[in-house]
Amino acid sequence: MKPSIRLVLSLLAPAPALALAPAATAAPLRADHPIIGTWQLTLPDGACREVYRMHPDGSSLVTSAQEVAESSFEIADQPDPRGYYKQVDTIVKDNGKRDCSGEITRPGHVSTTYLLFHPGGNMFLSCLDREGKRCIGPFLRLRGAET
């Protein structure tokens, strides 16, 4: 089975895992920020999907196979000159069940990614850098399933 986004990003850019999740909460986003909404990533073989519910308060709820995880994220208000939004995501809670890749995500895991939105606003790529060479996606907006 293909790895989930969190596993791919953690393998390419490992971050320290903490025993306890941080207590900090993210700052609220502007009402029209392009990340707000519900997004779906379907793995290339179509065997598993991940759904990301990105809330305006900087929290998210992710489902991947049997896993349900909550995170706190910070994302740039505007894209950089190359069009990328820097996002830092911290897992704050996880049900301890396996995701699409068969892995378990631990609270405290931090990942930094760079999101590149399609001009239409209905899809984006998640990249490990601003070069666009190590990306996964597309993440597709799910209409009618808003946060």
pLDDT in tens, 92-141: 999 999 999 899 989 999 999 999 999 999 999 999 999 988 999 999 99
Q: Please state, rounded to an integer, the average pLDDT across all residues of the chain.
A: 85
Please give the residue that has the higher pLDDT: either 69 or 22.
69
- 0.95 exceeded by pTM: no
Alpha helix (H) residue ranges in the chain: 5-12
End-to-end CA distance of the chain: 28
CA dist., res. 143 & res. 136, Å (int): 21
Ranking 25-29, 38-42, 64-68 by mean pLDDT, the lowest is: 25-29
Q: Exposed (0-12), middle (13-18) or buried (19+): which is 58, by Cβ within 10 Å?
A: buried
